[in-house]
Structure 1
C-alpha cells in the first residue's frame, strides 16, 4: 500500500495513527518530533508523512518547510494533523506546500482516506488533491 512516517510528540496520538494505518496495510514508521522526522526520512523513504504542528525541538511548520526545500524530499506527500484550525493556519500550510490539512480531533476514516489518496498520488507521480 505504501510507507508512512507518522510524526507526533504525543505518544497516544502517534500510536493511534500508526495502528489505524497499519490495519489498512501501510508500512508505518514513527518519529516523535520534527527533528526526529528529518533524521529518519531518508532511511524510511516514505510516500506520505503525517505531521503534527506543535512539537518540541522542531515544529511541524519548520519541518514541512525543510521537507519542501530539500530536493531529496520534495516528492514526499505531507499531511498536517493539528489542533490549529484557523484559516490562517491552513493558508500557511498551503503556502509551505503541504498536501493536506486535518484538524484534531480527526476522524480516523478520513485520515485513512487522505493517506491512501496521497500514497496513490505519490506512486503515480501525480499532483495531490487540494486541501
Structure 2
C-alpha cells in the first residue's frame, strides 16, 4: 500500500510520467491532472498528501490553483512543491524564501525531486494551523486577508533571517577586533 497520495498537476505528459518514474516504488500513489481546473477538482476529491504543481498551466494557472488552496484552511496544510522552468516568473508572484512550500526548477533529477518533496513536507509542518474559532470569510476580502497573512509571515521570516545575519556579522567583527 502506498504511503503517500501525490497529485502531479502539469500539462506535460513527459513531466507527469517522469515524476511517477522517479518516485520510489510502493511509497506513492500517483494521481495526475493536466490543467489547473482538473487539478483543483482532484485536490478537493482525492485529498492528496502531497501536491506537485506546475506554475504555468492551461485553463487555470498554477498561481490561481495556489490561491484556491490557500483560501481553504483544510487544504493549506497539504505539502506543496511548485514546479517551473522559469524561477523568475515564480519569484514575481511569491517572495523568497518560500516559507510554506518548496520550489523545484525544471528540469530536475530524482534527487532534486525527492529533496523538494521532503522540504515541502517539513515546511508544511511548520505552517501555523488555521484558527477554527475564526469564521471563514467570503469573496475578495478573504483572499486579501489571506494574502496579507502570507506577507506578514514572509516578512517575519525575513526579519528573523536578518537578525541571524546581523548576529553573524557582529560575531565576525568582534573576532576581527581581538
| TM bin (shorter chain) | 0.7 to 0.9
CA distance in 1, matches of 2:40, 2:74: 11
Alignment of 1:1-131 (within 5 A): 1-21=3-23, 23=25, 25-86=27-88, 89-90=90-91, 92-94=93-95, 99-119=101-121, 121=122, 126-127=125-126
What TM-score do the two structures reach when normalised by structure 1?
0.80
Give the length in aligned residue pairs.
125
Q: Please report how far the alpha carbon of residue 97 of structure 1 lies from its aligned counterpart in structure 2 after TM superposition.
A: 6.5
| Structure of larger gyration radius | 2
Asked whether the 8 Å contact 2:8–2:30 carries over to 1, the reply is yes
Instruction: Give, in whole Å, the separation in 2 of the partners of 1:5 and 1:94.
Output: 24
Q: Which has the higher helix share?
A: 2
The answer to whether the Cα contact below 8 Å between 1:83 and 1:105 also exists between their aligned partners in 2 is: yes
Q: Which whole-Å CA distance do the structure 1 matches of 2:23 and 2:79 have between them?
A: 15
Query: TM-score of the superposition, structure 2-length normalised?
Result: 0.61
CA contact (8 A) 1:4 1:50 kept: yes
Gaps of 5+ in 2: 128-156, 158-178
- 1:67 Cα deviation after fit: 0.6
Task: Check whether the contact 2:84–2:90 (CA below 8 A) recurs between aligned residues.
Answer: no
Inter-CA distance 40–97: structure 2 relative to 1 (3 Å threshold)? farther
Q: Which has the higher contact order (CA 8 A, sep 6+)?
A: 1
Describe the superposition over 1:74-131 as per-residue Cα deviations: whole angstroms up to 9, x where unpaired: 1111111101122x62362348965011111112211112213434x48xx7217x9x
Query: RMSD of aligned C-alpha atoms?
Result: 2.6
